Amino acid sequence: MKIYNTMSRSVEPFNSIEQGKVGMYCCGPTVYNYAHIGNLRTYIFEDILKRVLEKDGYKVKHVMNITDVGHLTGDGDDGEDKMSKSAKAEGKSVWDIAAFYTKAFMGDIEKLNIEKANVICKATDHINDMIAVIEELERRGHTYTADGNVYFSIDTIDDYGKLARLNLDELKEGARIEVDSAKKNPKDFVLWFTNSKFKDQAMTWPSPWGVGYPGWHVECTAMSMKYLGKHFDIHCGGIDAIPVHHTNEIAQSEAATGEKDWVHYWCHGEFLINDKGKMSKSSGEFLTLSTLINHGYDPLDYRYLCLGAHYRSQLKFSYEALDHARSARMSLIEKVKALKAEAKPSESLSDKALEYKKEFDEDLDNDLHTPQALAVLWSLLKDTSISAAEKLNLIYYMDRVFALSLDKVEAETERVGSDEDLALLEERSEAKKNKNYARADEIRRILLERGYVVKDTPKGSFLEKTV
């Protein structure tokens, strides 16, 4: 297998540290709001990477953190504390906010068939591990205290910024708003806040430097090394993590161990964008998975949409694109249903069928080219020289990576609902036809209250009982 390594800016052959095993750390969500579908694109990419490694026989130890403390609205120690800001806005405690949005996030990834990480670790459960890292950095002379906060001094290492290839001479922090005057170098970053601007910080812990709370970057250093060791194979995130978050993680991790090559492969997913650019929580257009579901889409329509773009290319979201993904997925399901009615998956494959498998493997093993791998699936379906049994064998094999639940499609969905429910469903279809989306959405909500989800398919709309 080959994968693009942001550190070398090239596609490299993948070799794991330990034979047959992979340690993989993925920066998890900051749980102050729902994840938007851009964030979810990154988790889908990471899931594909993990599934391809598993397909190739690796046993993957996947660790993901939950950021429930320390993340400010600006990555460089500026701005407000995201958790406190959200708690104030919603009139809840920060702990309630964290619990609520963590649950919502776990629900989203399950709906998208994203495999759950083997270790899901909350930052607030690992404060002592972070303190231990900061103490080690202090012992090795990489920190200083100013205005009560503990900072990492980037001038104590000789390769700060190597991941992002930062040219430190060119960086003039003066242009930034809210420069922290306590910093010796503008790129220094906080390891532990005691005397921060957030006097009303709700989450604080005792530490050798006083009562306070950790900076954001140190959590990933502490938790990744706790669960994956001093060196591990893969570290993932979205590309926005490269210049600050991952740069600072590398600086403090390698300074804390005194060893280079902390992580062997840095893998980053490109953005989901909209008309205004990167989808983000701060810029208005903020779509969640629930928004898509409320508009009648299946979460797997979105997964299919993401599979259709290479993870290192930007993907522009539009409802038209999602509609295309939905029709493609529905027609895939129809084809699989027909094949299932005809045969059972074969045990073995002919040479011709093996060619498809080989092509599929090559596309994915070459830096996760999912669009090409999907094209292989479609060519296979069209190939009349391959038997239904062999097609099913290959479809199941491919779906171990695509994860479109193609193994679960056999049962024709039963039509459910009382006469009154079905009359409402009919009225909704009419409303949609007349472009009265407000009424159509209202009916969807009424039906949801009655315990039904409306499913829109090319064959029409029907009801499914909620679980």
Question: By C-beta, is 27 or 121 nearer to Zn ion?
Answer: 27
Question: By C-beta, is 27 or 424 nearer to Zn ion?
Answer: 27
How many angstroms separate the most distant Cα atoms in the chain?
74
Residues 277-296 that bind ligand AMP (CB under 6 A): 278-280
Closest residue by beta carbon to ligand AMP: 238
Rule CB under 6 A: is residue 272 a binding residue for ligand AMP? yes
43: left (phi over 0), alpha (psi -120 to 50) or beta: alpha
457: left (phi over 0), alpha (psi -120 to 50) or beta: beta
The neighbouring-strand residues paired with 267 are 236
CB of 12 to ligand AMP, least distance (A): 21
# chain residues binding ligand AMP, by CB under 6 A: 17
Other beta carbons within 10 angstroms of residue 338's beta carbon come to 11
DSSP 127-195: HHHHHHHHHHHHHTT-EEEETTEEEE-GGGSS-TTTTTT--TTT--GGGSSS--TT-SSTT-EEEEESS
CB of 133 to Zn ion, least distance (A): 13
Q: What does DSSP say about strands 232-238 and 213-214: parallel, antiparallel, or unpaired?
A: unpaired
CB of 429 to ligand AMP, least distance (A): 34
Question: By C-beta, is 27 or 336 nearer to Zn ion?
Answer: 27
Helix ranges, 24-126 (H): 37-55, 82-90, 94-111
Q: Which of 56, 80, 240, 285 touches ligand AMP by CB under 6 A? A: 240
Residues 10-29 that bind ligand AMP (CB under 6 A): 27, 29
3-state SS of 249-288 is HHHHHHHHHCCCCCEEEEEEECCEEECCEECCCCCCCCCC
Euclidean distance between CA atoms 309 and 193, whole angstroms:
41
Rule CB under 6 A: is residue 70 a binding residue for ligand AMP? no
Residues 252-271 that bind ligand AMP (CB under 6 A): 269, 271
Rule CB under 5 A: is residue 307 a binding residue for Zn ion? no
CB of 292 to ligand AMP, least distance (A): 15
Structure tokens at 392: 């099913």
Rule CB under 6 A: is residue 302 a binding residue for ligand AMP? no
Question: By C-beta, is 27 or 377 nearer to Zn ion?
Answer: 27
Q: Which of 53, 94, 150, 220 touches Zn ion by CB under 5 A? A: 220
Question: By C-beta, is 220 or 256 nearer to Zn ion?
Answer: 220
Rule CB under 6 A: is residue 224 a binding residue for ligand AMP? no
Query: Out of ligand AMP, Zn ion, none, which partner does residue 220 contact, by CB within 5 to 8 A per kind?
Result: Zn ion
Q: Which of 41, 183, 326, 329 touches ligand AMP by CB under 6 A? A: 41
Euclidean distance between CA atoms 153 and 272, whole angstroms:
34
Structure tokens at 251: 């600086």
Question: By C-beta, is 228 or 440 nearer to Zn ion?
Answer: 228
Report the interface residues with ligand AMP, using CB under 6 A: 27, 29-30, 38-39, 41-42, 237-238, 240-241, 269, 271-272, 278-280
